Amino acid sequence: MGVVYATMKISAITLTLSTVLLMFPRLLLAQQIDPDLRGVWKLNVEKSDFGGGPKPKMGQVNWTEHGWVFAIVTGDGQLYADGIVIDRGCTMIGVPSDYSCAVKVITPRHVQLTLKQGSTVRRVGDIELLDKNTTRATHHVTPGDGAPSVEKTIWQRESE
């Protein structure tokens, strides 16, 4: 009986290990951002909703395999830019030092970005590739002062 039990136990372990190894490439693939997100995207101000806040004059984002750079020209003509590097986790560039970020790949075409100031979540953004030339970003914003809001922006691929 001990030999049969040991054989059954080894078989169960082998089956479990085989299943995990077969699923591993799918798990890796699920964690990859769709390469179609890469490129330069322009903000479609007219199709976007800024949650009651002022509309920018224009916006642009450039996605690469290493992260992205974001820039807008505000309604009063000021330039704002920041960047996020995703090679080793999430590193923000161009923001105060008490800000941090986390990037989660929900699906290859859906990326979730969480921005914190200290321990307070300031922004959770869901960025989705709708088609080859359109992305939608839905940001739940909690400012340090003022009421929380939701921004829904549409970004279109720069013509090549």
CATH code, 102: 2.40.128.20
Residue type, 131: D
- Same domain, residue pair 119 and 41: yes
- Same domain, residue pair 135 and 150: yes
- Same domain, residue pair 5 and 55: no
- Same domain, residue pair 41 and 104: yes
Residue type, 38: R
The structural domain count of the chain equals: 2
What CA–CA distance (Å, rounded) separates 156 from 131? 10
What CA–CA distance (Å, rounded) separates 62 from 81? 11
Residue with tokens 């970005």: 113
Note if the pTM is more than 0.85. no
Q: What is the pLDDT of residue 93?
A: 96
Task: Judge whether residue 103 has pLDDT over 60.
Answer: yes
Q: Which of 7-21, 115-129, 131-145 has the lowest mean pLDDT?
A: 7-21
Closest CA to 127 of 25, 28, 27, 36: 36
The whole domain housing 111 covers 35-157
Counting every residue written for the chain, the total comes to: 160
- Same domain, residue pair 89 and 18: no
- Same domain, residue pair 15 and 43: no
- Same domain, residue pair 22 and 91: no
Q: What is the pLDDT of residue 77?
A: 96
- Same domain, residue pair 20 and 56: no
**Average pLDDT over all residues of the chain:** 86
Burial (Cβ within 10 Å: 0-12, 13-18, ≥19) of residue 46: exposed
- Same domain, residue pair 86 and 106: yes
Burial (Cβ within 10 Å: 0-12, 13-18, ≥19) of residue 42: middle
- Same domain, residue pair 52 and 12: no
- Same domain, residue pair 5 and 46: no
More confident call, 12 vs 98: 98
